[in-house]
Chain A
Amino acid sequence: MCGIACLLLKDDSLQSRLGELMVPMVQAMEERGADSAGIAIFGPGEPAGLRFSLLAKPGVNWEDLAADLAGEVGADVTLGRRAGANGTIATLLCDSDPLVFSKALEAVVPSVALLGWGRSVEVLKATGAPSQMCEEYGIGNLAGHIGLAHTRMATESAVTAEHSHPFVPSQDLAIVHNGSFSNHATVRRRLEAEGIRLDTDNDSEVAARFLALRLGEGDSLDGAVRHLTVEMDGFFTLVVATADEISVVRDAFSCKPAVVAETEDYVAVASEYRALATLPGIELAKVFEPQPEEVYTWSR
């Protein structure tokens, strides 16, 4: 079991409330996955460069780290928002090629995990109770236009922040998964043969990398997700977000739940209705369950 909660805001006036609306959704999904959690928040783009979301061990000195990275990358590195009781999460702003940045990060502090990057996305992950993550990272105060959250009950790989969802395999692309893939090792080998490096042994990361590859090859989001349903076997409800779109798909047997609520102001997707029950105007929303193997995509 795992829990999914996703909110795409069509009404810009709700953007300042994205985090506030997401917190009860995540809390409602805590019973479905209480070992770890994560959220990707898509907000207004950075004017210059990319925003890198990092997770470090307690006691990290972000100022020193930013300076060291600037030296290694050869570009300015600005320290953005910090979060966490021990300041373990931070965003760094840098106008650099992501590959150069991640190599520099590995050279300077290999213990710091790169959770994701983009012009729009900020990624936060933690082990422990999802509601605790929300509180510790101040999720309720975050603004943006898409939030994609996951509460994890690990079945296929270790419980660490790096193994938790969302996976952000390329710029402004976030994926959460409830289920398990049965042929992930085969797809992993194929991806690795194409020179793609994976950060973890998690089956959902394989799906994330596969989608990133297809999108990189020119697929639309809808098309990439369709390809995934052909290539990957197993049980899945997948929700994929980019800076301005979200997609939902379920496997042929639809063993994993999904409920969609749509109003003029937002599209919300969750594992269970109770995660949607606190949204404004939910009584008037069009609520339905995605059909097996049908890809649903919404744009802002």
Chain B
Amino acid sequence: MVTLNCEGVGTREINRTLQSLPEGATAVLEAPGGRHNLVVGVSEPIKVQVMGNAGYYLGGLCGSKDATGLEIRVKGFTGWGTGENLMGGTIVVEGSVSQSTGASARGGLIVVEGDASLRTGISLKGATIAVAGDSGAMTGFMAQAGTILIGGDAGHALGDSLFEAVIYVAGRIRSLGADARIEDLTEEDVAAVKNLVEKAGFDHISPGDVTRVASAKQLYHFRSEHRGIY
């Protein structure tokens, strides 16, 4: 096991060390102090524990289609863009996350045990995000593919301009965004939510009791006579 104390060590040096670890290695990051860009660009399936609060882009550009065994666990909260462009593996944040969690993420799973701020899963491209608590306004904005599960309440403009991604909400929805609509829950949906809840380790969500939000597909092709509905 590798233990790295972040104090006095450059962020690039920390990330280079993590990137050079072999498959199956375990690393512990101490004293993260809210620093940005920690655990970025790690593609080997290793385990990383962050022992405190981290800043922006934690776990960004990590994982790969083949490295699904990557596991990043944060014993605290994280800033903007957690798991931005994640390709594979799992990120678990034991606290809350800031805005734009999982932005553009293509693969892997991001679990947030606290609340998420605005724009969770913005432009999501295939990854899965599970938030135990509430998620702020504009969650799922322009999400193209993937799944977002919100264990608590969703803020305003949920799923605005959604493409093929699907959002499940266990709590209340403050308002839907443009072209987002509530759809009937199918058996496949219940099975998918059950699977996700188990993976995330949540025990407060009943898979048959969530709201499915998906695209109404009215905005796929822009027509000038439809500009009024934007």
Contacts and interface: CB of A to CB of B under 8 A. Distances in A.
Q: Do A and B bind each other?
A: yes
Interface of A: 252-254, 257, 259, 272-274, 276-277, 287-289, 291-292
Contacts of A254: 99, 117-118, 136-137
A257 B136 contact: no
A253 B99 CA distance: 11
B98 A274 contact: no
Given A254-B118, A291-B136, A273 B96 contact: no
B114 to A, nearest CB: 10
B86 to A, nearest CB: 21
Contacts of A274: 33-36, 55
B31 to A, nearest CB: 9
Contact of A277 (B33, B56, B138, B156): B33
Interface in B96-121: 96, 98-99, 117-118
A148 to B, nearest CB: 20
Nearest to B99: A254
A274 B55 CA distance: 7
Given A288-B96, A289-B98, A273 B136 contact: no
A224 to B, nearest CB: 24
Given A254-B99, A277-B53, A288-B96, A272 B117 contact: no
B34 A273 contact: yes
B55 A272 contact: yes
Given A257-B80, A272-B55, A277 B34 contact: yes
A272 B99 CA distance: 12
Nearest to B33: A277
Given A277-B34, A277-B53, 7 more contacts: A254-B136, A272-B34, A273-B34, A273-B77, A274-B35, A287-B96, A289-B99
Interface residues of B, number: 20
A85 B136 CA distance: 47
Nearest to A273: B34
B34 A276 contact: yes
B79 interface: yes
Contact of A273 (B79, B117, B138, B155): B79
A254 B138 CA distance: 11
Task: Report, nearest first, the 5 A-B pairs whose CB atoms are least far apart.
Answer: A274-B34, A273-B34, A277-B34, A277-B33, A289-B117
A257 B79 CA distance: 10
A28 to B, nearest CB: 8
B77 A287 contact: yes
A201 B137 CA distance: 33
Interface string B37-66: 000000000000000010110000000000
A257 B98 contact: yes
Contacts of B136: 254, 291-292
Contacts of A289: 96, 98-99, 117
Contacts of B98: 257, 259, 289
Contacts of A253: 118, 138
Nearest to A252: B137
Contacts of A273: 34, 53, 55, 77, 79
A278 to B, nearest CB: 8
Nearest to A278: B33
Given A273-B53, A273-B55, A292 B77 contact: no
A77 to B, nearest CB: 45
Contacts of B53: 273, 277, 287
Contacts of A277: 33-34, 53
Interface string B188-215: 0000000000000000000000000000
A289 B80 CA distance: 11
A291 B115 CA distance: 12
Interface string B123-149: 000000000000011100000000000
B79 A272 contact: yes
B37 to A, nearest CB: 12
A291 B55 CA distance: 19
A292 B137 contact: yes
A287 B117 CA distance: 12
Contact of A292 (B36, B79, B118): B118
Contacts of B56: 272
Contacts of B33: 274, 277
A254 B99 CA distance: 9
A291 B154 CA distance: 13
Nearest to B117: A289
A287 B77 CA distance: 9
A288 B77 CA distance: 10
